[in-house]
Structure 1
Amino acid sequence: MFSIYILTYNEERDIEACINSARLSDDIIVVDSCSSDRTVEFAQRYPVRVVSHPFESHGRQRTWMLENLPTKYEWAYILEADERMTPALFAECLEAIKDNQYVGYYVAERVMFMNRWIRHCTQYPRYQLRLLRKGQVWFTDYGHTEREVCHGSTGFLQETYPHYTCSKGFSRWIEKHNRYSTDEARETLRQLEQGTVNWGALLLGRSEVERRHALKDLSLRLPFRPLLRFLYMYIFLGGFLDGRAGFTWCTLQAFYEYLITLKVWELKDEQLPTIEGTDSQLSF
């Protein structure tokens, strides 16, 4: 058996369905980032542990959770509130943890959007590290999200999990991604100043995760990023095959990319007065 963590913030619309999907395990811990809605109230109706911890970042929240919240089992699975555990995935996880070869497993998400699975423009199969052996996997920050640090080899599961993105409506999606774009802009600026593109991983990466991370680092350096992202997703990946949902998804992602670009420009402009002021003092 393995434990299940559920990460939440203002998830009153999703939390009960998420918990119900996870009740295949007898050890569920809801880690709430101090929600202002009824998330905690709804979660407490179920036989689960509920812990609140102020949110700093996705990477820090996960690492704090793994270091400070004991679990009944050595292995744990991480769920977001808008994701679901499935019986088939749960069964495969039970088989996977019998193997001591790996310290973690990647699972592919199925993005559910506008009442359908949009398979093509979401880079399916797009893997996230979800099942892990505690004490062997940690997380660091990358933009608005996180990247895993694994002290050992990792594997890939065949079953997938549904991710009901935008389940709380377009207004919530736009509000959330407006916040995310600020962190992405800071990471973009840092990568442009200090980072490099791993061409080996981009061209010859051993896994989808390695290639995707390298492609992300390359995309930060390309001109016309919002337009290129739309064309890449809608034409190259085949988003047009996903119908109206695919077009809408590609448009939203291009808009998100444009928000990041705008905020990178804004951050650069904020740095200029300091630089100009220093130059003026030196010349004086």
Structure 2
Amino acid sequence: MFSIYILTYNEELDIAACIESAMLSDDIIVVDSCSSDRTLEIANRYPVRVFEHPFESHGRQRTWMLESIMPKHEWVYILEADERLTPELFAECEQATQNPDYIGYYVAERVMFMNRWIRYSTQYPRYQLRLFRHGKVWFTDYGHTEREVCNGATSFLKETYPHYTCGKGLSRWIEKHNRYSTDEAIETLHQLEQGDVKWRDLFFGKSEVEKRRALKDLSLRLPARPLVRFFYMYFLLGGCLDGRAGLAWCTLQAFYEYLILLKVWEMKHMPVPSLETKVSVSQTSTPVDVL
């Protein structure tokens, strides 16, 4: 058995289904970023532990969660409200925790958008570290999201989980990514000034995670990034095979890149205090706007 942390912020539409998908565990912990909707009311209907903590950033929220809320079990799984834990994945996680060779496991997501699995244009399989031994993994901030730091060897699971990226509607998705683009623009400036491209990882990385991160560092330095990203996703990755939903997904991702570039230009030429100082308010779902 392993404990499950669920991260939430204004997730009244998703929290019930998310908790119910995790009920195979006897220790479910909901960590809420001070929601203003009915998220906590709904969560408290279930046999789960509920905690609140003001959101600072993705990395800091996870670090606070792991340090402040002790799980019942040695192994933990991080689940977000718009994701689901399938019975098949749960069973594989249970089996994986018996292996003493690894302290954590990466799990691939299946992006669900416009009622369809976006298989090709999402670089499937894209892995996230979700299952790990408590005390062996911590998180740092990177752009609008986080990156894990592992004290030990990791591996990959075969089963996947569905991620309903647009379950709350396109308006919510666009609003969320408008905010995400602020943190990504700050990270872009930081990487261009102080970072570099790990060419060895790009071509000879030991895992998909290393190669994908090196590819992102390279993409920050490419001209016409929005057009390059659309071409890469729609034609090279095969997004055209994802149908109408794939076209919409690739178009939105190109728009997201363009928004990041606009904010990078703004930070360089029209500095605004709220953009010069990184006060990350990006939430797992919809944070408070800083623009």
TM range (shorter): over 0.9
Q: Kindly indicate whether residue 30 of structure 2 is the aligned counterpart of residue 49 of structure 1.
A: no
Map of 2:123 onto structure 1 = 123
- Once the two structures are superposed, what CA deviation does each residue of 1:160-198 show, in whole Å capped at 9, x if it has no partner? 000000110011001111110000000000000000000
Give the distance between the partners of 1:75 and 1:10, measured in 2 at CA.
Answer: 27
Q: Which residue in 1 is equivalent to 2:244? A: 244
Helix, strand or coil at the partner of 2:100:
coil
Shift, 1:271, TM fit: 5.3
- By how many angstroms is 1:30 displaced? 0.4
The alignment status of 1:75 with 2:75, answered yes or no, reads yes
Q: Find the counterpart in structure 1 of residue 143 from structure 2.
A: 143
The one-letter code matched in structure 2 to 1:24 is: L
Residue of structure 1 in register with 2:184 after alignment: 184
**Deviation per residue, 1:199-249 (Å, 9 max, x gap):** 000010010000000000000000100110011000000000000000000
One-letter code of the match for 1:202? Answer: L
Per the alignment, in what secondary structure is the counterpart of residue 130 of structure 2?
Answer: strand
| Pair 1:13 & 2:13 matched | yes
State how 1:1-284 maps to structure 2 within 5 Å: 1-270=1-270
Q: TM-score, normalised by structure 2?
A: 0.92
Separation in 1, partners of 2:15, 2:98: 29
Taking the aligned partners of 1:226 and 1:56, their CA distance within structure 2 comes to 29
TM-score normalised to the size of structure 1? 0.95
Gaps of 5+ in 2: 273-291
Deviations 1:9-50 (A, max 9, x none): 111100000000000101000000111111111101100011
Q: Which has the higher helix share?
A: 1
Q: Distance in 2 between matches of 1:270 and 1:200?
A: 37
1:270 shift after superposition: 3.6
Aligned to 1:278: none
**Which whole-Å CA distance do the structure 2 matches of 1:105 and 1:129 have between them?**
6
CA distance in 2, matches of 1:171, 1:40: 23
Structure 1: which amino acid aligns with 2:91?
A: A
Distance (Å, rounded) in 1 between the aligned partners of 2:17 and 2:236: 35
Q: How many residues align?
A: 272
User: The residue matched to 1:258 in structure 2 has which SS?
Assistant: helix
The AA in structure 1 aligned to 2:75 is: W
Distance 1:184 1:271 in 2: 16
Opposite residue 64 of structure 1, the aligned amino acid is: W
Say which SS state the counterpart of residue 89 (structure 1) adopts. helix
Task: Flag as ranges the 4+ runs of structure 1 deviating above 3 A.
Answer: none
- Secondary structure of 1:76's match? strand
- Larger Rg belongs to: 1
Offset at 1:116?
Answer: 1.1
Q: Distance in 2 between matches of 1:94 and 1:215?
A: 32
How far apart, in 1, do the equivalents of 2:260 and 2:245 lie?
Answer: 23
> Aligned with 2:132: secondary structure?
strand
Structure 1 alignment gaps of length 5 or more: 273-284
Distance (Å, rounded) in 1 between the aligned partners of 2:45 and 2:140: 32
Give the % identical residues.
Answer: 78
Amino acid at match of 1:12: E
Map Cα deviations across residues 66-119 of structure 1 (whole Å, 9 max, x no partner): 111011001000001000000000000000000111111000000011111110
2:215 alignment partner, SS class: helix
| Separation in 1, partners of 2:35, 2:130 | 23
3-state SS of paired residue (1:159): strand
SS at match of 2:251: helix
User: Partner letter of residue 10 of structure 1?
Assistant: N
How far apart, CA to CA, are the structure 2 residues paired with 1:5 and 1:121? 29
